[in-house]
Amino acid sequence: MTADDAAGFDADAAPQPSEDPSSTPLAALLTPIANGKVLAAICAINRAKGQVLETSAGTMAMLDDTDPESLDRAAAGVSAMSRDFPLLALERRDGQITVVRYANGQRGETLPPGLALNDAPGVVTTLMSGAQTIDDLAATHEDKVFSARMGRFKAVMQLRKLGAQARKQLG
């Protein structure tokens, strides 16, 4: 390469190796709760900020804080508030997925990810593998993604409103 060639070469424009999305840490809660707004409010009350996705098998909260202790606190808090619904805490670190069952605020057994997610909707495995992000889904499925980044007071008011609507529908 001549000096003239080098002068026109922009090192910043050279292709950079892309980061493997499966290596990015991820923390999520997979629940059988059908209403994404309900899970978003329960997450916010438990200070578990993130976004909630409604799926065909329930709801999935993608948490902003991927720290293992934060995931544990979020899973324990959400499962304590939704006693009738055990949940799965999903964690991806260094390309490895860990699945732990929580019920009634208590950590349960660690499950093999392949078995635990075998019957999960495809979107769950797509998110956990890193093939898509929650932001990708929010752009194409606005009516299925809800924010859990509200204050606790607003979350309590939202739960009260949703409860009143449910009672009204039941007659």
Q: Which SS3 state, helix, strand or coil, does residue 99 take?
A: strand
Walk along the chain (171 residues) and give the pLDDT tens digit of each residue.
444 444 444 445 444 445 676 789 999 999 999 999 999 999 999 999 999 999 999 999 999 999 999 999 999 999 999 888 899 999 999 989 999 999 999 999 999 999 999 999 999 999 999 999 999 988 998 899 999 999 999 999 999 999 999 888 887
| Residue 143: DSSP 8-state | G
- Is the dihedral angle over the CA atoms 36, 39, 45, 49 positive or is it negative? negative
> What pLDDT does 81 receive?
94
User: In angstroms, what CA-CA distances link 21 with 45, 92, 127?
Assistant: 30, 10, 10
In the chain, domain spans: 21-170
Alpha carbons 162 and 133: distance in angstroms, whole number = 28
pLDDT at residue 75 in the model = 98
pLDDT the model gives residue 29: 97
Rounded to the nearest 5 degrees, what angle is found at the Cα of 56, between the Cα atoms of 64 and 107? Answer: 50
- pTM of the shown model: 0.85
What's the pLDDT at 16?
47
Edge-to-edge strands, sheet with 26-31: 106-111, 96-103, 87-93, 26-31, 58-63, 50-55, 145-147
Would you state the pLDDT for residue 114? Answer: 92
